[in-house]
Structure 1
Amino acid sequence: MKTLIFFSRKFLIRNLCVSAAFLIGTVLFISTAWADFTFVHRDLQTGIYSNANSMISFRYMRHIWTSNDGAMAAVVQQGGYEGYGLVLFNTLDDGLNWAAEVEISEDTQVASDGIIDLNNDILLVTSLLGDGDDIVNVNFVRLTYDPISHAWSKDLSAQTTVFRSGRKFRATRATIAEDSNGVLWSAFRLKNSVSGIFQIRVYYSEDGGTTWNDSGNSFGIRNYLADKSVKVIAVGSRIAIIYNDVRAKGSIVESFKAWAYREDSQALDDGWNKKYFAKMTTADGDPYGSHWSVAADYSGNIHLSYEDGGIRYIRFNSGTDSWEPSSKMTRQDWHYSSISVAPNNDIYLLVRNSDGTKVMGSMYSYASQSWGEWAAVSSQSYSGYLRMSSPERFIDYMPVLYQIQQNPPYGLMYDLFR
């Protein structure tokens, strides 16, 4: 058994500052022009590498957070690179230098989703992303923040199992959120390995993650189609799940976006309100059910970007308590997305461009209720997937990680801007 390792900051720090001219992208759906993004750092090499194709997957999962005193953390699956699995990296200088701080899991296959709480602790769930053929538990980990050293460490007393996978039931694609009462919620995809049926389940913890209970609620159409995925999210005084569901209609497979929610005042095992709100319109709409990102703003609105013949955007309006019609944001050959909320409720949407060489961004102004032009976030051209990860909410400037290289080891680039 490999022991818990705290890496030498001097040994691990590798960085490269790159400067380049700012490039404005093609205006698509957007009409209102804003000033260029303001960058603190741009096209920095983090020195973080991985053998795992899914080092910061999926899009709807969160992998980077900032404490309220300015420290930043990112959790990356290194896939056995230099012998490591799921690792937390941190930076104390806005991302100029990154250091590996703690190995969360030796498993080189698991992915994670996490939140940062009011104490700056990072609460994670880990699970597999695949179709449930392997037996791996959904586990909970608390990473405790030290405000003196500005470092995170694994709380050895707070490592618990949310769901224990076995020969019959196998859980994957887990996510986590905390409601206004401090109750933790985890939603995940569950496969019955005997029948082959997939569904979505939700568990909760009233004691900070020490024990977990089945809410008794299941979501999605019970069928053999694996492209189900779910993100649990706190929305004001509600806890909600946004999920991708699929069904077969003859020889055609149809994909939908759906949601369900409960009021925080309800009993924990009460039923949830459920509704489908967006049907995919193209045959390859949201491949694998994982190409979407969701964030809740400070007014109780929900913002969702998803792939369906290009990137589309849809908003839940808390004022009308309903989902508005979706808008097509990009042409068909733009892929992946990550959506984030600024302190003033402005929305930042990141997307990979048509030739797969740049990360593009657009900002929605809450004050004027309109989108700005697309502009390049990454100033250079890169090869690889350019999958990106940004926080659900950020404090001042928005950090973003994006994955480069066609073949392993994959690298992470970093930008900080607004």
Structure 2
Amino acid sequence: MRRRLLLVLAGVLLVGGSAWACRYSVRDTGFVDLGDEFYQLVLSGSDLGERRDLYRQIAAASLLDANIVFLVRERPEAGEATLTLEDSVGRKLVLARGDALPGDVAGATTLIESVALTPLRAEIHEQALNAFAVVLLIEGGQPAEVSRVRASIEAAIRNVARLMPSMPKPVDTPPALIRVTREQLARERVTVWGLGFDPAPTAEPRVALVFGRGRRIGSPLEGPLITQTVVEERLVIIGQDCECELDREWMKGPLLPARWDADRQRQAVQKLGFDPENPLVRAEVSRIILRGPGTGQFKKLAGTASTVGYSEVLLEELPSADATATANDPPATVDPAQDPVPAPETASTATPLNRTRLVMWFVLSGSSLAVLVLAAVWWRKVRREQG
């Protein structure tokens, strides 16, 4: 009897503890493709000639598994032939134009392949699969400042590594630091631009934090904005439960333009323990991200500083369509003899979240009561046998 009682109690505690647990961390959500984050590779010009079909055929193969779509814009006023990469907010990177735009198969293939993937983006994918996250340090022309920034990043990584075992979904390998030298910038223009930076060299170092399949967290950091505190706080956010009271903007950072093929996808399934491409997973993560922290308010993880790039603000709630229509309608005639009686709140008007919590409360309360009753019966039986 005692053993059965303990098993029942353990079952109740297990149900109660797992009822509110989230299956995914912020890091996990970075591997899920929500299907709405595409870049546009645009070939434009007034007279494209053979380049039109040549680039279309090469792009169909090279961009097959990339979040990049190829478009042709041939207009009389477009001017000389130009190949441009555009993101969803209107930023543009001119890759080649005029005589610099290759017209042969080999040259066009090399150019489009450099848009789909480069050694640096391949390394980012590899490290993001195996490590907790990736910190990219784009070195500038000031060695002393680069040394300061590197020391700050390494200290932040050490501190986060000590916290990783206690995070909701621990990862064995701490965050990885990837250094991008000034000599690499010319070959990695698309990568640097995709991280949110100007691809041209700068005097000050620059830092971006990436997780998942190349999703940036927070705004790009440059020069004095790069501190140990900021880097550490952003890394901690990556390890948080995605269902916590966290501003969903942290999970909506831009995704690097890159090819993510079937081999990478298989590696992700093995590392994560779930399939990020599963339609049910994509739907659940999309619901979590789009749901937001609450109506009219942005919530921020406790302990994050204002220097992280996001601040807590209170927004006025927008009026609903019914409220707007009521405000524009003429006032209704009311009988003074009749007082308006507010409609009582019923189960049909309660929110789904409140209904779920109410059901869970009844389930847990009933289970706890059953455990107490069984314990009392068992105790009385033992007392009778001993007496």
**Which TM-score applies when normalising by structure 1?**
0.25
Higher relative contact order (CA 8 A, sep 6+): 2
Which structure is higher in strand share? 1
Which structure is higher in helix share? 2
**Which TM-score applies when normalising by structure 2?**
0.26
